[in-house]
Chain A
Amino acid sequence: MKPVISISGLTKTYAGGFAALKKVDLEIQQGEIFALLGPNGAGKTTLINIVCGIVTPSSGTVVADGHDIVRDYRSARFKIGLVPQELTTDAFETVWATVTFSRGLFGRAPNPAHIEKVLRELSLWDKRKTRIMNLSGGMKRRVMIAKALSHEPEILFLDEPTAGVDVELRRDMWALVRRLREGGVTIILTTHYIDEAEEMADRIGIISKGELIVVEEKAKLMQKLGKRQLTLNLQEPMAALPPALADWPLALKANGNQLQYTFDAHAVAPGDKPQDIPSLLRRLGELQIGFKDLSTSQSSLEEIFVSLVTDRAEPASKGAA
C-alpha cells in the first residue's frame, strides 16, 4: 500500500510562540480509516488544518496524493474534503445553494444528480430549500458534511464529526463513513469518543502536547497495550493476600470477596516465572483457595488511551517538581 498522505517533520508554532506541533511524522495509507486521538489542545485540529491549507506550517512538508500541499496546493486540495470542528455555516443561503457553491469552489462542473445523492444520503433532501439558519445544530453539521462531499473528495478529514450529535445520527455517520471507505475514500477523523475510534478505525494515532506518541493498527495496539483481567469470586472472603501469592500481580476487591488478576496479552511476568491463568489456578488449588465462578475482561481502547496520555504527562510533571 502506498501512503496517500505523507507528513514529515511538521511543526507549528503559533504567532504567540506556542508550539502546537513538534516534528510530527505520519503516513496515511490509501483507503484506510485513521483515527487521530488526543486530549483537548493536543494539536489535532492544527494538524488537519495544515494539511487542508487553513494554517501555514512553520516547517516540515506534507504531500497529499503525490502533491506538495504548499507548492502544488491546487492539485492537492482538489482531492481533499474537510468537515471542520467548528459549526460554521452561511445563514441566509438555502441548503441546496450552499452545497452547490462548495462543489463549484472546488473546481467541479455542476452535477445536480451528485448533490441530490449526497443530500439524500444525509437525510437533507427534504430540507434542500430551507435556509441554513432555520436548521437545527445536527442538521447544520450534516450540511457541513454535505459541503465536504459535494466535490467528491478522495481524502476526507472529519474533525470531531460526532460532537453534539444524537445517537441515531452518530450511527448514520458511522455507516456513511464505512460506505465512503468502501468507495475508496481515505478517511482521517478525530474524536473524543474513544469507542467510536475503536468501532471504526483501522489505525490509530495518539497525539499529546503536539507530539505523535503512538501510531498503530487498532488491533495491534489493543493487543500490545491492552490489559486483561481475570476476576475470581471467592467462596470465603480473604482479609489479606496470602504470602504464598506475593509475587503474583493480584489484588483483593469487593471486601475480600474477589480476587483480581491483571495480566498483559503475553501473560509473562518479570522473573521468567510462568504466570498464565492455568498456573495461577493450579497455585490456588494447592493453597486450597476455592472460588464460585470467574470472569475475564479486556481493557477498552479508552483505558489504553487514558493510560498512555497520563503516562506521558507524569514524567514531565515529576521532572518539573
Chain B
Amino acid sequence: MSDVGFNRQGVWAIYRFEMARFVRTLLQSVVTPVITTSLYFVVFGSAIGSRMSRVGGVPYGAFIVPGLIMLSILTASISNASFGIYFPKFTGTIYELLSAPISFVEMILGYVGAAATKSISLGLIILATATAFVPVEIRHPFFMVAFLLLTTITFSLFGFVIGIWAKGFEQLQLIPMLVVTPLTFLGGAFYSIDMLPPRWRTVALFNPVVYLISGFRWSFYETADVGVGVSLAMTSGFLGLLLLVVGWMFKSGYRLKK
C-alpha cells in the first residue's frame, strides 16, 4: 500500500468478513425469505387477492410483489448494517477498526457494501420465489435495479448510523420496529395509496417509504402513486441527508471514540 492511498485491502477485508457471516448461515439466509414470501402469497395473494382482483390494472398478487420486496430489503438493510457495526462495539473488537489505517468512508464502503449485497440477494430471492406464484413483469429493468441499489444503499447507510448510535440491543431494534416497519406497511406495500381517503392520502405523502415503493412498483408495472422523478428525488434526498449525518459523525468521532 502506498502510504496515503485508498485502503482497498481494508475495505475488502471488512466486506469479506461481513459476507462470511451471511455465507455461514446461507441455508437460513435463503430458506427463510422463501418461506416468508410463500406465506405472504398464500395469505395476501390467494385469500385476500381473490376478492381484490386488480389494482391499477395489475392482478393483486402481482401488485404486491414490489412492495413485498421493499418491505424485506428495507428491514434487512437496516438490520444487517446496524448489526455489522454495533457488534464490534458491543464485543470491543472495534478497537481494531479504530486503530487501523482506514477512513470512515472506507469503513462505510465495507459495511454498507456488504449489507447492501446481502439485501439485494434477498430481494432477488424473493422475486424469484414470487414468480412461482404470480406472473411478474419487469417493464423497466434498469430502473428496477436502480431503485434496488438506491434503496439498499440508503437503508444500509441508515442502519450503519443506527448501529453507531445504539447503546444497547433494544435501541438497535427500536427504530426498525417502531419506525420502519409501520412506515412500510402504511407506505403502500399492499395497496395503492390512491385507495385511501383524500385526507389520509395527503398524510401518506409525508411517508418517505411511499416514494420508494411507488417508484419500484412503477419499474415493474408502470403504475405509480407518485411520479417516478419525485420518487427518485426523494430517495436520493434521503441518501444525501444520511451522508450529511455520517459526515458529521465522522468529524466528531460520535459514539465511537472516547
Contacts and interface: CB of A to CB of B under 8 A. Distances in A.
B25 to A, nearest CB: 10
Nearest to A74: B101
Contacts of B24: 92
B10 A77 contact: no
A104 B257 contact: no
A49 B95 CA distance: 9
B20 A53 contact: no
B93 A106 contact: no
A296 interface: no
A165 to B, nearest CB: 19
B3 A74 contact: yes
B210 to A, nearest CB: 39
B170 interface: no
Contact of B99 (A56, A80, A110): A80
B7 A74 contact: yes
A82 B253 CA distance: 20
A52 B94 CA distance: 12
A106 B258 contact: no
A54 B95 CA distance: 6
Contacts of B10: 104-107
Contact of B1 (A53, A93, A107): A107
Contact of A56 (B4, B16, B17, B258): B258
Contact of A14 (B16, B92, B98, B258): B258
A106 B8 CA distance: 10
B179 to A, nearest CB: 28
B81 interface: no
Interface in A6-22: 14-15
Contacts of A14: 258
Contacts of A88: 91-93, 95
A107 B101 contact: yes
Interface residues of B, number: 30
A161 to B, nearest CB: 15
A104 B12 contact: yes
The secondary structure that dominates the B interface is: helix
A73 interface: yes
Interface in A69-109: 72-78, 80, 82, 84, 86, 88-93, 97, 100-109
A55 interface: yes
A92 B20 CA distance: 10
A218 interface: no
B242 interface: no
B239 interface: no
Nearest to A75: B3
A1 to B, nearest CB: 23
Contact of B100 (A72, A75, A77): A77
B21 A74 contact: no
B103 interface: yes
A31 B91 CA distance: 33
Interface residues of A, number: 38
A53 B256 CA distance: 11
Of B1, B24, B97, B101, which is in contact with the most chain A CB atoms at under 10 Å from its CB?
B101
B9 interface: yes
B243 interface: no
B248 to A, nearest CB: 15
A223 to B, nearest CB: 37
A15 B255 CA distance: 12
A54 B17 CA distance: 21
Contacts of B16: 101, 104
Nearest to B13: A104
A15 B100 CA distance: 24
Interface in B214-258: 253, 257-258
Nearest to B12: A104
Contacts of A147: 96
B16 to A, nearest CB: 8
A74 B95 contact: no
Contacts of A78: 1, 3, 101
A105 B258 contact: no
A52 B13 CA distance: 20
Contacts of B212: none
A97 B20 contact: yes
B102 interface: yes
Contacts of B9: 103-110
B120 interface: no
A74 B4 contact: yes
B14 interface: yes
Interface string B93-134: 101111111110000000000000000000000000000000
Nearest to B110: A105
Contacts of A97: 17, 20
Of B1, B21, B93, which is in contact with the most chain A CB atoms at under 10 Å from its CB?
B93
A128 B102 CA distance: 26
A22 B56 CA distance: 70
Contacts of A15: 258
Interface of A: 14-15, 49, 52-56, 72-78, 80, 82, 84, 86, 88-93, 97, 100-110, 147
Counting from the closest, the 4 A-B pairs by CB-CB distance are A104-B13, A88-B92, A107-B1, A77-B101
